[in-house]
Amino acid sequence: MAHAETVKKTQTRLLIRNIGLLLSGDLEQPILDADTVVAVDGKITAVGKEKDLDIEAATLIIDAKGTALVPGLIDSHVHPVAGDWTPRQNQIGWIDSYLHGGVTSMISAGEVHTPGRPKDVVGLKAMAIFAQRAFSAFRPGGVRIHAGAPVIEHGMVEQDFKDLAAAGVTMLGEVGLGSVKDGATARQMVAWARQFGIQSTIHTGGPSIPGSSLIDKDIVLAADADVIGHINGGHTALPDDQIVALCEKSSRALEVVHNGNERAALLTLRTARELNQLDRVILGTDSPAGSGVQPLGILRMISMLASLGEISAENAFCFATGNTAKIRKLACGRIAPGCDATFVMIDKAQHSAGKTVLESIQRGDLPGIGMVIVDGVVSVQRSRNTPPATTSPEIAR
Ligand SMILES: [Zn+2]
Interval between CA 94 and ligand 1 midpoint (Å):
19
pLDDT in tens, 300-321: 999 999 999 999 999 999 999 9
> 365-375, pLDDT tens digit by residue?
999 999 999 99
pLDDT of res. 211: 78
Residue 387 alpha carbon to ligand 1 centre in Å: 30
Q: How many whole angstroms from 393 Cα to the centroid of ligand 1?
A: 38
3-state secondary structure of 23: strand
H-helix segments, 80-146 = 94-99, 121-137
Confidence class for position 19, pLDDT limits 50, 70, 90: very high
CA of residue 260 to ligand 1 center, whole Å: 9
According to DSSP, the β-strands at 91-92 and 36-40 are unpaired
Q: Are 327 and 227 in contact (CB under 8 A)?
A: yes
22 CA → ligand 1 middle, Å: 34
Q: What is the pLDDT of residues 157-188, one digit of tens each?
A: 999 999 999 999 999 999 999 999 999 999 99
CA 365 – ligand 1 centroid, Å:
28
> Ligand 1 center to residue 350 CA distance, Å?
36
CA of 203 to the centre of ligand 1 (A): 4
- Beta bridge partner(s), residue 78: 108, 287
CA distance 386 to 370: 9
pLDDT digits (tens, 9 = 90+) for 264-286: 999 999 999 999 999 999 999 99
How many angstroms does the Cα of residue 174 sit away from the middle of ligand 1? 6
Question: Which residues lie closer than 8 Å to 329 by C-beta, 6 or more apart?
Answer: none
